[in-house]
Structure 1
Amino acid sequence: MTDDLVGRRAQLAAVMERCRAWPADSPWLREAMAVLPRDAFAPDRLWHWDGHRYVPLDRATDPAGWADELYAGPDAAAVTQVTDGLPSSSLSAPAVVADMLDSLRLEPGHTVWDIGTGQGWSCALAAWRAGPGLVVSTEIDEDLVAFARRRLGAAGVDAETLVGNGTSSVPPGGPFDRIHATYAVETVPYEWIKAARPGGRIVYPWGRLGHVALTVAPDGCRASGWVQGLGQFMADRSGPVWAPTGYAKVRGNGDPEAEEVVERDLAPLAGDWDLRFALRVAVSDAIVITGRDEDGVNAWIHDGNASWAALSARGDGSTVLHQGGPQRIGDELLTAWSQWEAHGHPTPYDYGITVTPEKQWVWLRDEDGPSWPIGEAGERRAALPR
């Protein structure tokens, strides 16, 4: 099995080379991932989605299947824990791990707070770069902390791992030069800003779709920075549980409250991730599902609570919009789509985020440009022109 894993590591490295997933500005990452391979931090049971549910893959009984899951590709995460039928911890996709650590701009001698230890792999990679004793990692799950400590010790990594809620409490050792979070938050805990040095960098997954790198201002009171890439992450366990009701239940059995014909082809909604990210920014509580039939792409939209919309292709490039609930979420999505077009089809990399003690917002191309508040869903819907 050892020889097989060596081959899989080499294969993954080669695929990452071909698809240019190794960050050019952080060549240390390739060496660190070779010294501290993914399998050294993987539990002996992984979980595979079979199309209906998560099923276990045990290393002892199915070593090849286990390794296939672990080394499925640069963009594939490996689920390491399932709670109530849903994934609750994972080894993040190798390309995403590399991208986030590259965004951290980590240098030898930096002090690092790694938030969300998980299995300890990101903590180990950060410690390889920063140096012995300079990384402290916190994790809310006591069992995961115990596991990570064993794996870090076996790998010879000198990093401190503590049980703690990184969203609400700060470990000793600060202020930190770098803060690296591995679970998604919608709103940045202001404690993270206070825990970083002026000029320090904070990299974190934002919401359900991307990750952001903030730089703390010289006064230490605010931070801002750019979206760095796309990716999906486990949510903050200490925050509200984001478990939206499905579309069918939100819609119910009643008739639509509004109906109209829309002159728009929905094809981009199915595969244009620049568009999907822009809609996530402007209508952040909208859950969008697409499907295709002989007439074209159709979409079903809901907010997980009470508002819904259905966009049904008619085969001639137009669409019928039905919607209901307290918010006209279909209209909001189409308006945001038109705004994205008017702004010149920006990519995720054209957006940034600013955090102050009073508020947080997303901006487009410039901090003083078009912006959208981050906060309660109702506030997030309305763009703030400047």
Structure 2
Amino acid sequence: MNDDGLAGYRVRLDAEMEERGQWPADSPWLREAVAALPRDRFAPDRLWRWDGWAYVPLDRAVDPDGWAGVLYGAVDSPAITQLTGGVPSSSLSAPGVVADMLDSLQLEPGHQVWDVGTGQGWTAALSAWRAGPGRVVSTEVDEDLAAFARGRLAAAGLDVEVRVADGSRAGLPGDGRVDRLQATYAVEAVPLSWVEAVRPGGRIVYPWGRLGYVALTVAEDGASARGWVHGLAQFMGDRHGPAQPGSGPAAHAAVRAGADPEAQRVLERDPAGLADWGLRFALRVAVPDVVLFTDDGPDGAVTLVHDGAHSWAEVGPDADGRPVLRQGGPRRIGDEVLTAWAQWEGLGRPDVYDYGITVTPESQWAWQGSPDGPRWPITQPAPARS
């Protein structure tokens, strides 16, 4: 499929972004950049689609419309570009999220940018369109992805340096500090090397663990940063960081391992409240290692909870339709969720934008309402390799 065949897909994406209000008003340059550098020019000829059982390939030469349909499926849909061991390991992020995160970056012409996690090069390309030639350096741990991105960036006529490096564990390539740092993969805690790489007053925008993305401003001391959560999204994690617990019934079943509940009780609250994304994010803050997934059970919706290790819980109806909590393992993980739920309600049911993060050389924490408000510790990253 050539440019003429893809034109309709590009127009539909632009219109959907407009209809849903996802072209940022404060960054009108983004719409121009996406039009000049459409995502298909950074997509490999093979994408992957989940068919309900496994990821199956979609080859551009074999099924051009299916390939384009996945690439331009929806403003909130990523396109899987790489599998490792049958699991997605790289993607072209959802267009709406890319636009919102670049808007959060507050990028201006002339800014020096460190793009952490090149992937296919699309985010680096959009940043270079705004910042200018030679202003973006991008690091990618996967040599094949780095080579692919170099080729696509060069074909687009963009002067972007792509280096093979682990951006979470290596410092900024070159000398000096940058004005902006954008990460395209999720970290639970911010590597201190990122803060050290950005000038005071500069911005760091990154996906936070399993859910959400954050925009930090580096303080005048050049060693700490603070900022607000800017939205909800799910990104692939740091390849060399701690593995993120899987979601879905299979991951829950693996943790439960066929064990019977060790404790159960009828709940006094409606478990349907667990579908609220404000609550889901609050649980992500308060019990960050806990995964929730809602599935259909024989008697109604069931929320599956686990920690990716040995503890699990289920919230769903019993035979009489009453909501019941069942749990097992060394932690009473269901009780932890209920405690965090009650705390969220006690705080006035804050939404995702009411939370922020502070990073210092000694510790990192999330907070609600203000930096002096309720706080929750964030586990520090491992020290950088020398």
Instruction: Check whether TM > 0.5.
Output: yes
1:145-193 Cα shifts (integer Å, max 9, x gaps): 1111110000001111111010011211430000000000001000000
Paired residue for 1:267, among 257, 272, 282? 272
Asked whether the 8 Å contact 2:245–2:291 carries over to 1, the reply is no
Query: CA 1:316/1:269 → structure 2, altered by over 3 Å: closer, same or farther?
Result: farther
- Normalising by structure 2, we get a TM-score of 0.94
Query: How many residue pairs align between the two structures?
Result: 376
1:196-221 Cα shifts (integer Å, max 9, x gaps): 00011000000011100000001112
The corresponding residue for 1:217 is: 219
Report how far residue 268 of structure 1 moved: 2.1
Secondary structure of 1:289's aligned partner: strand
1:20-43 Cα shifts (integer Å, max 9, x gaps): 010110000000000011111111
1:279-302 Cα shifts (integer Å, max 9, x gaps): 111111111122345754322211
Asked whether the 8 Å contact 1:111–1:178 carries over to 2, the reply is yes
Paired residue for 1:194, among 196, 208, 212? 196
Asked whether the 8 Å contact 2:17–2:75 carries over to 1, the reply is yes
What is the correspondence of 1:218-233 to structure 2 with a 5 Å cutoff?
218-233=220-235
What is the correspondence of 1:120-159 to structure 2 with a 5 Å cutoff?
120-159=121-160
Report how far residue 234 of structure 1 moved: 1.1
Asked whether the 8 Å contact 1:283–1:332 carries over to 2, the reply is yes
The corresponding residue for 1:383 is: none
1:316-336 Cα shifts (integer Å, max 9, x gaps): 884222212111100000111
Q: Which amino acid aligns with 1:302?
A: H
The corresponding residue for 2:384 is: none
How far apart in 1 are the matches of 2:301 and 2:104? Answer: 36
Report how far residue 247 of structure 1 moved: 1.9
Report how far residue 246 of structure 1 moved: 2.3
The corresponding residue for 1:72 is: 73
The corresponding residue for 1:384 is: none
1:250 aligns with 2:252: no
Query: CA 1:71/1:253 → structure 2, altered by over 3 Å: closer, same or farther?
Result: closer
1:246-268 Cα shifts (integer Å, max 9, x gaps): 22232234432222221111112
Q: CA RMSD in A?
A: 1.7
Long gaps (5+) in structure 1: 378-386
Asked whether the 8 Å contact 1:296–1:315 carries over to 2, the reply is no
- State the percentage of identical aligned residues: 65
How far apart in 2 are the matches of 1:338 and 1:243? Answer: 24
What is the correspondence of 1:1-386 to structure 2 with a 5 Å cutoff?
1=1, 2-170=3-171, 171-244=173-246, 246-270=251-275, 272-292=276-296, 296-314=300-318, 318-375=322-379
Asked whether the 8 Å contact 1:267–1:296 carries over to 2, the reply is no
- Normalising by structure 1, we get a TM-score of 0.94
Q: Which amino acid aligns with 1:242?
A: Q
Q: Which amino acid aligns with 2:53?
A: H
